[in-house]
């Protein structure tokens, strides 16, 4: 059966993915094999595939496919995250289009709509991952609000509450006025924005003594001015001011110690307080303290026992405590209050100003620091063992540079605000009594029992209890992910959790190292007594070729599905990995995907070439050297690739595979053995070449699953059974490496390359047969390589000589001199210039080698084999220089 001239990836991708699913190659159940487990970082149900997902899931699929081919029981658990804030925003928007407001619905009615949205849109991203070739066990697909997973969240809450690690209290939180909920630190995106800096005058409240002094003075000195000036970007919060703070050492304001000032427009008196927290050389040296609307101000207010005045409603509008502009949006109020201040003579000046502002990742609303009654989880006791796992190496972070970041976070951990003012999510299991007391229980029936105990009131009914309206933070479900996906809470001794836990590798982004990874380690320790994974591979950020982070707003992020359509799934996978060393950002360019597609075409064309050869059983094998060389080179590459994978250098592992296939196999081996046009090949060479190709498909498969599976089933390899597929083919075992042969062939390749360079330089046709002679100064036996040199260099003979023949072009390979007779007169001047340049380079090289060998520190610290290598470099360079001097002397005569 013939093979198509060009590779048709779309057909292959659809065919083989369906085939793998049909025959359950992705399915995993516990057995006697060694397990290899990955749990997917669950993407949000609101999400669609973006470049970060492409990178992350390509890496996971490479690891899982390779484990499968190493005979392990590979299990990749997929799933999605319910993404409370983002999903609720999507549902609210959907309802708005239908003319329905959330406030018009009961909670159960809203949740019905939410589940409707989830069922329609929530699985899109997982379906898109299939286009990439993701070999997840789709039968195990989980959702963080599945019944069993939600039950685990509630059980966890109750468990930690009983330990005293969950509590309720008023704290400063990140508030999203659009989502009307608290958000976690990782859901706040800080952006540099252009703002205005308003310099506002606060009149000093006069006392009796200062009024008398003023009446006697004819001029005001700077120390007796009527006001002080404060610079702020948020003039709309002055109505919430509780004090003005100055540094006690600031001589400019000594006269204000113990004074009070009036808040402009509203005339409320506030004290001037002293604290070294204020930097004297920043701004005016005066700080307005607004405890309800700034975290640092809150802590300062606590220290000085200042009142907390919250002037903002949950939606970001001003409330009655503001006394003016009530009901105005905070940003509209900012503009209006600036006008009012100016009209009142209280605005000194306005300057343009750039500063960092926090935005909600989910709604893009500007975050408000807000004091709020929330549920918190204590982190200090859980953080210590989670830090120890990483520091003692039980959990390895790859690359290790992130250990210090992790340590810093864990040693400075703060309590976790786990409540969200939403309906979509797991509802907090707190039940309130009419008097404000509460009990924690899984169900209202359990809560009633607890409430009766608490109140000693046996007549209470469930009607007397009201469940907390809030839900827990989405991360409070995803931190249980490696346990809950194997039902490790409901049934902590089941076969799956005992077999698959702890998992092996986690692949995720560094920005959630603390917010997700660390918390999973905490949960693993608390509920299973061991970490949930052994290795954490931290990917970089996908950036464009200009170094900008890819985003929809910049328009610099390609649609991954468009890339797959254009370059094939294999091409995109290769393209993503070519430029993605662990932990480092990757500068993505479509040219990498084009390179991946070209690589697939190279493999396809190489296969077509081999398949097109006719075989003659009667021919002897003339290619033993080529076969032995490639076998050794393949085994050498296997060791290199295995080491790269062991060190999680996936990009390097791909490059090693790429070089082996493109350079060694296609560019050299196939050229060495290729029969003359329209002539047959011997049977032994053909069989060995097919075997090499089969092994190449195996090591390529984790990176390029579709083209390898397509070629694997070609008739060239004989009949395949239904389950005899590349996806489960065992990776080749390491074989012997003939280092001596490899080194000799590298020299032979240099000889052939130099012959070709001479042809190009002298514009000699590749078809013109040349003669070649060698003055061998090394121990290489060129006789055994003569057939290869003659074939690939298109020379008629390789003659050994003792002296340089006249009228010949020469070149050096190591210490061996090669000569090509040339009928035209040699340009002595040009040849002299070429040799002088080579001599200049060698003198510089020899100088650097000698500098190392004369360095006492190097000689005393370097390993013996390194010193030996440097000594060999010195000997070789000196031998080459001697030969060059002889050649130059010959040209001079």
Phi-psi category of 209—alpha, beta or left, where left has phi over 0 and alpha has psi -120 to 50? alpha
The whole-number average pLDDT for the span 594-612 is: 96
Summarised one tens digit per residue, pLDDT across range 792-826 is 999 998 999 988 887 788 898 988 999 998 755 55
Average per-residue pLDDT in the chain? 91
CA 34/CA 213 separation, integer angstroms: 89
Contact (CB, 8 A) for 317 and 328 = yes
- Strands 586-587, 615-616: pairing kind: unpaired
Residue 221 has pLDDT above 50, yes or no: no
- 3-state SS, 196-214, equals EEEEEEEEECCCHHHHHHH
pLDDT at 713 over 60: yes
pLDDT score at 220: 37
Per the listing, tokens 């839900």 go with: 471
Residues 809/820, Cβ–Cβ less than 8 Å: yes
The pLDDT-based confidence of 208 (bands split at 50, 70, 90) is: low
Give per-residue pLDDT as tens, 732-787: 999 999 999 999 999 999 999 999 988 887 788 888 999 999 999 888 999 999 99
User: DSSP label at 39?
Assistant: E
Question: Is a pLDDT exceeding 70 seen at residue 99?
Answer: yes
Q: Which of 541 and 405 is assigned the larger pLDDT?
A: 405
Beta strands 471-472; 466-467: pairing state: unpaired
In this prediction the pTM is: 0.83
pLDDT bucket at 842, cuts 50 / 70 / 90: confident
Largest CA distance in the chain: 126
Q: What is the mean pLDDT of residues 651-663?
A: 97
Give the distance from CA 181 to its chain's centroid.
Answer: 28
Task: Categorize the per-residue pLDDT at 544 as very low, low, confident or very high, splitting at 50, 70 and 90.
Answer: confident
| Angle 233-234-235 from CA coordinates, rounded to 5° | 110
Mean pLDDT of 384-411: 96
pLDDT of residue 217: 40
Exposed/middle/buried for residue 818 (C-beta within 10 Å: 0-12, 13-18, 19+): buried
If you average pLDDT over residues 1-23, what whole number do you get? 92
Give per-residue pLDDT as tens, 126-148: 999 999 999 999 999 999 999 99
**Secondary structure (H, E, C), 102-152:** HHHCCHHHHHHHHHHHHHHHCCHHHHHHHHHCCCCCHHHCEECCCHHHHHH
DSSP assignment, residue 44?
B
| 114-118, 420-424, 523-527, 820-824: segment of lowest average pLDDT | 820-824
Do 689 and 673 form a contact (C-beta atoms < 8 A)? yes
Identify the DSSP state of 444.
Answer: H
- The mean-pLDDT minimum among 359-368, 421-430, 851-860 falls in 851-860
Q: Residue 136 and residue 58: Cα distance in Å, rounded?
A: 12
- What pLDDT does 875 receive? 81
CA nearest to 385, candidates 516, 167, 531: 531
Q: What is the reported pLDDT for 552?
A: 62
Q: Is the pLDDT of residue 555 over 80?
A: no
Q: What is the mean pLDDT of residues 305-333?
A: 96
Can you say how many angstroms the Cα of residue 494 is from the centroid of all Cα atoms in its chain?
33
- Which is higher by pLDDT, 645 or 677? 645
- At a CB cut-off of 8 Å and minimum separation 6, what does 487 contact? 148, 494, 496, 497
pLDDT of 415 > 80? The answer is: yes
User: Which percentage of the chain shows pLDDT scores above 90?
Assistant: 76
What CA–CA distances, in Å, run from 755 to 50, 467, 749, 768, 794?
48, 85, 10, 12, 9
Residue with tokens 């509008």: 317
Query: 62: part of which helix (H) or strand (E)?
Result: helix 51-69
* Band (828; pLDDT cuts 50, 70, 90): low
Q: What is the pLDDT of residue 861?
A: 82
Judged by average pLDDT, the poorest of 117-131, 613-627, 750-764 is 750-764
Report the pLDDT value the prediction gives residue 886, as an integer from 0 to 100. 65
Which tens digits make up the pLDDT trace of 456-471? 999 999 999 999 999 9
| pLDDT score for 840 | 84
The helix (H) or strand (E) run that includes residue 289 is strand 286-289
Separation between Cα atoms, residue 646 and residue 635, nearest integer Å? 17
Which are the contacts of 469, defined by CB distance < 8 A and separation ≥ 6?
A: 107, 421, 423, 427
Return left, alpha or beta for 869; rule: phi > 0 is left, psi -120 to 50 is alpha, else beta: alpha
| Closest alpha carbon to 536 in 389, 718, 675 | 389
Kindly calculate the radius of gyration of the chain based on its CA atoms and give it in whole angstroms. Answer: 37
Residues 148-194: pLDDT tens digits? Answer: 999 999 999 999 999 999 999 988 899 999 988 988 777 888 999 99
Q: How many CB atoms lie within 10 A of CB 249?
A: 11
Exposed, middle or buried, 91 (CB in 10 Å: 0-12/13-18/19+)? Answer: buried
């Amino acid at each position: 059966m013939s093979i198509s001239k060009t590779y048709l990836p779309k057909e292959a991708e659809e065919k083989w993915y369906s085939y793998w699913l049909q025959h359950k190659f992705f399915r995993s159940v516990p057995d006697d094999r060694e397990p290899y487990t990955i749990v997917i970082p669950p993407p949000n149900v609101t999400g669609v595939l973006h470049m970060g997902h492409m990178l992350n899931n390509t890496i996971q699929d490479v690891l899982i496919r390779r484990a499968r081919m190493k005979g392990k029981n590979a299990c990749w658990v997929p799933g999605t995250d319910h993404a409370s804030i983002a999903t609720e925003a999507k549902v609210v928007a959907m309802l708005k289009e239908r003319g329905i407001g959330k406030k018009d619905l009961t909670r159960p009615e809203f949740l019905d709509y939410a589940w409707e949205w989830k069922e329609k849109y929530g699985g899109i991203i997982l379906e898109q991952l299939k286009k990439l070739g993701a070999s997840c066990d789709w039968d195990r697909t989980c959702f963080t609000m599945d019944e069993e997973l939600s039950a685990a969240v509630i059980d966890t809450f109750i468990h930690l509450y009983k330990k005293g690690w969950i509590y309720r209290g008023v704290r400063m939180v990140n508030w999203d006025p659009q989502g009307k909920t608290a958000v976690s630190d990782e859901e706040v995106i800080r952006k540099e924005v252009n703002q205005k800096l308003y310099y506002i005058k606060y009149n000093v409240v006069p006392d009796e003594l200062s009024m008398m002094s003023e009446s006697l003075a004819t001029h005001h000195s700077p120390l007796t001015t009527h006001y002080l000036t404060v610079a702020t970007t948020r003039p709309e919060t002055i109505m919430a001011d509780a004090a003005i703070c100055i540094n006690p050492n600031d001589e400019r304001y000594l006269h204000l110690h113990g004074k009070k000032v009036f808040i402009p427009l509203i005339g409320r008196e506030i004290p001037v307080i002293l604290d070294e927290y204020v930097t004297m050389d920043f701004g005016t040296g005066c700080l307005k303290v607004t405890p309800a609307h700034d975290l640092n101000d809150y802590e300062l207010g606590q220290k000085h026992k200042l009142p907390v005045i919250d002037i903002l409603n949950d939606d970001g509008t001003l409330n009655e405590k503001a006394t003016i502009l009530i009901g105005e949006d905070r940003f509209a109020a900012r503009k209006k209050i600036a006008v009012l201040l100016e009209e009142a003579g209280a605005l000194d000046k306005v300057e343009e100003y750039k500063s960092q502002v926090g935005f909600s990742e989910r709604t893009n609303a500007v975050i408000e620091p807000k004091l709020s009654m929330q549920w918190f989880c204590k982190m200090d006791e859980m953080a210590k063992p989670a830090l120890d796992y990483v520091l003692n190496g039980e959990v390895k972070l790859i690359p290790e540079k992130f250990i210090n970041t992790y340590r810093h976070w864990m040693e400075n951990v703060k309590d976790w605000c786990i409540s969200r003012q939403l309906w979509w999510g797991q509802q907090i299991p707190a039940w309130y009594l009419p008097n404000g007391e509460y009990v924690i229980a899984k169900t209202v029936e359990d809560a009633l029992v607890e409430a009766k105990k608490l109140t000693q009131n046996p007549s209470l009914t469930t009607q007397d209890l009201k469940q907390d309206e809030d839900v827990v933070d989405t991360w409070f479900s995803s931190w249980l992910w490696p346990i809950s996906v194997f039902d490790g809470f409901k049934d902590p001794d089941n076969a799956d959790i005992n077999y698959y836990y702890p998992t092996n590798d986690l692949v995720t982004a560094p920005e959630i190292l603390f917010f997700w990874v660390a918390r999973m380690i905490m949960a693993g320790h608390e509920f299973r007594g061991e970490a949930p994974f052994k290795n954490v591979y931290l990917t970089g950020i996908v950036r464009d070729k200009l170094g900008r982070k890819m985003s929809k707003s910049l328009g610099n992020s390609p649609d991954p599905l468009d890339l797959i359509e254009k370059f094939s799934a294999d091409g995109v996978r290769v393209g993503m990995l070519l430029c993605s060393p662990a932990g480092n950002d990757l500068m993505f360019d479509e040219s990498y995907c084009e390179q991946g597609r070209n690589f697939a075409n190279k493999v396809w064309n190489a296969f077509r070439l081999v398949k097109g050869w006719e075989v003659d059983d009667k021919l002897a094998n003339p290619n033993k050297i080529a076969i032995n060389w490639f076998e050794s080179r393949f085994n050498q590459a296997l060791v290199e690739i295995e080491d790269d994978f062991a060190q999680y250098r996936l990009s390097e592992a791909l490059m090693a595979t790429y070089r082996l296939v493109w350079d060694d196999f296609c560019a050299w081996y196939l050229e060495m053995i290729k029969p003359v046009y329209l002539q047959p090949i011997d049977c032994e060479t053909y069989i060995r070449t097919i075997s090499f190709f089969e092994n190449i498909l195996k090591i390529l498969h984790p990176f390029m699953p579709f083209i390898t599976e397509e070629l694997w089933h070609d008739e060239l390899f004989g009949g395949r059974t239904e389950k005899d597929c590349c996806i489960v083919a065992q990776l080749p075992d390491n074989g012997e490496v003939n280092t001596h042969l490899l080194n000799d062939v590298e020299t032979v390749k240099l000889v052939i390359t130099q012959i070709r360079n001479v042809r190009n330089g002298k514009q000699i046709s590749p078809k013109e047969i040349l003669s070649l002679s060698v003055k061998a100064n090394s121990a290489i036996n060129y006789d055994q390589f003569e057939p290869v040199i003659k074939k690939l260099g298109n020379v008629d003979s390789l003659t050994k000589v003792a002296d340089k023949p006249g009228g010949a072009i020469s070149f050096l390979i190591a210490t061996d001199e090669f000569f090509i007779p040339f009928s035209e007169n040699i340009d002595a001047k040009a040849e002299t210039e070429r040799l002088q340049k080579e001599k200049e380079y060698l003198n510089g090289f020899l100088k650097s080698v000698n500098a190392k060998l004369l360095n006492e520190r190097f000689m005393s610290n370097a390993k013996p084999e390194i010193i030996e290598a440097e000594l060999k470099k010195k000997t070789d360079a000196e031998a080459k220089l001697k030969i060059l001097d002889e050649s130059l002397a010959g040209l001079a005569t």
